[in-house]
Homo-oligomer: A and B are copies of this chain.
Amino acid sequence: MEKIFTQDYCVRHNETDYSGKLSLPALGDCLLDVAGHHAIDIKFGIDSLQHQGLTWVISGMKFNIYRMPAINSLFKIKTYVSGFSRIATQRDFMAYDDNGKIAEASSEWLVLNMEKRRPVFISDLFPQLGDVCITDSPLPKYKHLRTFDAPVSAQEIRRVAYSDIDINRHLYSMRYLQMALDTFDIEYIANHTISSVDVNFISEVLYGQTVDVVRHSDGDVHGMEMLRDGSAVFRAEFRMG
């Protein structure tokens, strides 16, 4: 049982975008992968929760990106639990290689009752959470995002299909980010890099539902909102450089 858990990665072809660099959703896939392995290591894995009709869900993330590694590059991600309350835990990540930091991210997690689709008290489930938590210097938490004032710069309707949903039978968290990025014109992305992102996962989206992905832009700051029947289910703010 390790308080700080580290895993090795190698950037795959399918994890890069057309620039040949690791994409943001693929970086997120790796973060969620190492989080899952660490949770199993400290006995808070999703397997044991599912036997009790419970599951981990992510409620928000904040990314700071310094540079994205190229295809076939080796890198590492270290992660640890950096804070907790009665209903939420914070988990921080650092991705790095021999040349230094690649990205940092913080994430907030809830435990959901899968039948009621409502959060439960984590402190009751895992009273020993304090023993594995490293509270020294947690990374800044994501910003709570409200309706964006900037004008609408792109809008697209998306249907949630088979390949979009995960074992929790809802839209996979990184697919929200992918759908947001898909509103960009490729020439814009080719000439910009993502420097930081705040992400709010507001509500589950289920198989077969349609969402309206709306981008609001103020220069290189982009507010992304995903609406279902007019209500926001996701918001993110991308700052591009």
Measured CB to CB, the closest approach of chain B to A69, in angstroms, equals 14
A172 adjacent to B33 (CB under 8 Å): no
Complex Cα spacing A165 to B58, Å: 27
A18-B169, A71-B167 known; A162 vs B186 contact (CB < 8 Å): yes
B14 adjacent to A174 (CB under 8 Å): yes
Question: Of B12, B25, B32, B169, which one neighbours A13 at CB under 8 angstroms?
Answer: B32
A184 adjacent to B162 (CB under 8 Å): yes
Binding site for B on A (CB under 8 A): 12-14, 16-20, 23, 25, 29, 32-33, 36-37, 40, 71-72, 161-163, 165-169, 172, 174, 178, 181-182, 184, 186, 189, 207-208
A29-B14, A167-B13 known; A36 vs B72 contact (CB < 8 Å): yes
A182-B161, A186-B207, A207-B186 known; A166 vs B33 contact (CB < 8 Å): no
13 A-B pairs with CB atoms under 8 Å apart are A12-B32, A13-B32, A16-B166, A18-B165, A18-B167, A19-B167, A20-B167, A23-B163, A40-B72, A71-B167, A161-B182, A162-B182, A165-B186
Complex Cα spacing A29 to B14, Å: 6
A162 adjacent to B174 (CB under 8 Å): no
A13 adjacent to B163 (CB under 8 Å): no
Q: 3 tightest A-B contacts by CB?
A: A161-B182, A14-B29, A12-B33
Complex Cα spacing A23 to B14, Å: 14
Complex Cα spacing A201 to B214, Å: 33
Question: Of B13, B33, B162, which one neighbours A14 at CB under 8 angstroms?
Answer: B33
Complex contacts, A189 vs chain B, CB 8 Å: 162
Complex Cα spacing A169 to B161, Å: 24
Complex Cα spacing A161 to B17, Å: 11
A181 adjacent to B163 (CB under 8 Å): yes
Complex contacts, A37 vs chain B, CB 8 Å: 72
Q: Determine which residue in A17, A18, A20, A208 has the highest number of CB atoms from chain B within 10 A of its CB, and name it.
A: A18
